Amino acid sequence: MEEKIVRIVNAMAEFLSIEQLKKLQEVIVQELSENEPQRENISNDEYITRFLNAKQMEGCSDRTIQYYRVTVEHFLKDISNPVRKISTEQIRDYLVRYQKINNCSKVTIDNVRRNISSFFSWLEEEDYILKSPMRRIHKIKTKTVVKETISDEAIEKLRDHCTELRDLAIIDLLYSTGIRVGELVNLDISDLDLEQRECIVFGKGDKERKVYFDAKAKIHLQRYLDSRSDNNPALFVTLDAPFNRLKISGVEIRIRELGRSLGLNKIHPHKFRRTMATRAIDKGMPIEQVQKILGHSQIDTTMQYAIVNQTNVKNSHQKYIA
């Protein structure tokens, strides 16, 4: 088979350019490979299952895997073609229609694009397809929006408004460590070292790292643990029996309700993470250290949190320029 392809390409060498010859070879290989029975027998559903299994092995969270599943399943159901016959033009058309039908933002549609791209990249890496049709569909440009952080005054209001020791401990731990809400609910009491004011968390991909909390968080964590009468090893549990481990949704609902009751704008767990990172960078912590605390594998991700305080910009201008 390979010898035949080489002979065909060589025979056309004097009539076509290098780029055209490459394209010819690509088309021949693709057309011939589509006739391979072992590939034809794999359904779209089976490809999705294998892709999600691969993502699970990579350490993706259940939420991320579910997001992949919903996105890719909806896409393949809409296109209806076998994955090996889907073209770049079909994908572009799908993304345009998806945005119009759902009236979604550029950020949302780019997330859909990224998930579909991840699926096709995996197919290419596993040699199920010769070349991903997503290669020519680039990242969708979006406006860089400076996201809000939680002010010191708002933090104090949240603390004062807490009626449960558990909620107070959650707020202070999120605020001083910058951990993800998923990492928070997975913490066990044994992961905590109150004396050293540190704890071990398992981030994305089950990567272990150490994070640190302040004296205020230590005091509130100790009071909360002293008030507990259950035997659950989880650090945070429900307020009522049987005192099960608190879930992500439980933390999110509690924090949002607390914020709304005070008239504070969009208070949610991730905002504490952004606030901690911004505060650390604003006070001079090296970006590499912030990256380590947050558990980011790429420093570009950490840079998204590097919101420079406008007051500091003004002070610096007066110091160095004025």
Looking at the chain, how many residues does it have? 322
Q: Which candidate in 55, 218, 273, 279 is catalytic?
A: 273
Q: Which of 84, 73, 85 is nearest to 124 (CA)?
A: 84
Three-state secondary-structure class, residue 202: strand
DSSP annotation of 193: E
Question: Catalytic: 296?
Answer: yes
Handedness of CA 299, 305, 308, 309 (dihedral sign): negative
Handedness of CA 66, 72, 77, 83 (dihedral sign): negative
Q: Which candidate in 166, 180, 218, 254 is catalytic?
A: 180
Question: Catalytic: 106?
Answer: no
Structural tokens at position 195: 């004396």
Question: Catalytic: 136?
Answer: no
Q: Which candidate in 220, 274, 279, 296 is catalytic?
A: 296
Structural tokens at position 198: 């540190």
Q: Which candidate in 50, 159, 270, 292 is catalytic?
A: 270
Question: Catalytic: 180?
Answer: yes
For 159-180, b/e burial (b = at least 16 CB within 10 A) is eeebeebbbbbbbbbbbbbbbb
Check: CB of residue 182 under 8 Å from CB of residue 305: no
What's the Cα-to-Cα distance from 51 to each of 91, 109, 111, 123, rounded to whole Å? 18, 21, 17, 8
Q: Which candidate in 204, 209, 245, 256 is catalytic?
A: 204
- The residues that are catalytic are 180, 204, 270, 273, 296, 305
